[in-house]
Structure 1
Amino acid sequence: MAVIVYIDADACPVKDETYKVAARYGLVTWVVSNSFIQIPKSEVIKRMIVDAGPDVADDWIADQVEPADVVVTNDIPLAGRVLAKGAHAVAPNGKPFTSDSIGAALAQRALMEHIRSTGEITGGPPPFSAASRSQFLQTLDQTITRALRSQR
């Protein structure tokens, strides 16, 4: 089976970069969102618009993903589901989710949700930067290379 790239697209700042890297390898790329998102005209870039609602796009991706596929997401629970199926997950800032790091990431997310639920203002993520974009491109390329090698 061929490696497929999935983009959790609703708030993804690196869709264009993902298209370019995936195209270099000739990989089908699914752009998954719960609203219309313009995509380039391409035989290998496909759009899936799912119903609105929490985790509907995540559920669709998790149901479709196969071992060695690559998912671009900032959603930590989705990354955990993807890794559990033997696939790869990369955050838009270029940080790869791994089986070694996902437990701590899930725990940190739960802790921050608890702190926010008490009314504490925690701030948001750092601004997306050119360095983040560059790191993403490098990590995505490395991840796709690893995924393709695992299929040989």
Structure 2
Amino acid sequence: MAGQGAPGIYVDADACPVKDEVVRVAERHELVVTFVSNGGLRPSRDPMIRHVVVPKGADAADDWIVEHVTAGDVVITADVPLAARCVEAGVHVLGPTGRPFTPESIGMAVAMRDLKQHLRETGEIKGFNPGFSARDRSAFLSALDQTVRRALRAAKA
């Protein structure tokens, strides 16, 4: 199944808690996974798993992903600005909790991110994120499998 026309899976990997789950789903569908990070990831001998190390910098991984994805690919990221750029490019985007970023939802996601950033900067709220749970991991697995199946169907059409 891997090859011309098959979607790729790109992972904003530096702080991604679902790397193993991505690999499991990708193996089941015979898709190439590209982990993009500033370093620190152990390379894989599996030819279907690629690691790209980008220079240190605020948006280096984001920029690399946006430059290399094509419409129909799948991106895994918790970074809302990256998600917005990918959605604009026609990419399927999922957060690590299984939350999809779509053309219909990305505007609200960006607005909420900006609001929370403003509230943190003004001291109105603390900058803590909720812990990552087994329920989040399960929801992600289900959402990724559905998203990959949708991407594969679209690639065949």
Normalised TM-score (structure 1): 0.96
Mapped partners of 1:5, 1:134: distance in 2 = 18
1:149 is matched with: 153
How far has the Cα of 1:22 moved from its partner? 0.6
Mapped partners of 2:38, 2:63: distance in 1 = 12
Mapped partners of 1:99, 1:89: distance in 2 = 10
1:75 equivalent to 2:76? Answer no
- SS of the residue corresponding to residue 71 of structure 1 reads strand
Alignment counterpart, residue 12 of structure 1, candidates 16, 20, 24: 16
Mapped partners of 1:47, 1:40: distance in 2 = 8
Q: Which amino acid aligns with 2:125?
A: I
Q: Deviations for 1:46-89, whole angstroms, at most 9, x for unmatched residues? A: 00000001011000001111011000100001111111111111
Q: Please give the root-mean-square deviation of Cα atoms over the aligned residues, in Å.
A: 1.0
Q: Which amino acid aligns with 1:129?
A: S
Alignment counterpart, residue 58 of structure 1, candidates 56, 62, 68: 62
1:35 is matched with: 39
1:102 equivalent to 2:106? Answer yes
Alignment counterpart, residue 117 of structure 1, candidates 121, 130, 133: 121
Normalised TM-score (structure 2): 0.93
Mapped partners of 2:146, 2:44: distance in 1 = 24
Question: What runs of 5+ residues in structure 1 fail to find an aligned partner?
Answer: none
Mapped partners of 2:93, 2:67: distance in 1 = 15
Mapped partners of 2:122, 2:32: distance in 1 = 43
- Residues 44, 50 of structure 2: 8 Å contact kept: no
Question: What runs of 5+ residues in structure 2 fail to find an aligned partner?
Answer: none
Q: Which amino acid aligns with 2:32?
A: V
Mapped partners of 1:99, 1:136: distance in 2 = 19
1:3 is matched with: 7
How far has the Cα of 1:107 moved from its partner? 0.4
Mapped partners of 1:118, 1:126: distance in 2 = 20
How far has the Cα of 1:123 moved from its partner? 4.2
- SS of the residue corresponding to residue 77 of structure 1 reads helix
Percent identity, aligned pairs only, is: 50
Mapped partners of 1:46, 1:40: distance in 2 = 7
After TM superposition, which residue ranges in structure 1, 4 or more long, deviate above 6 angstroms?
none
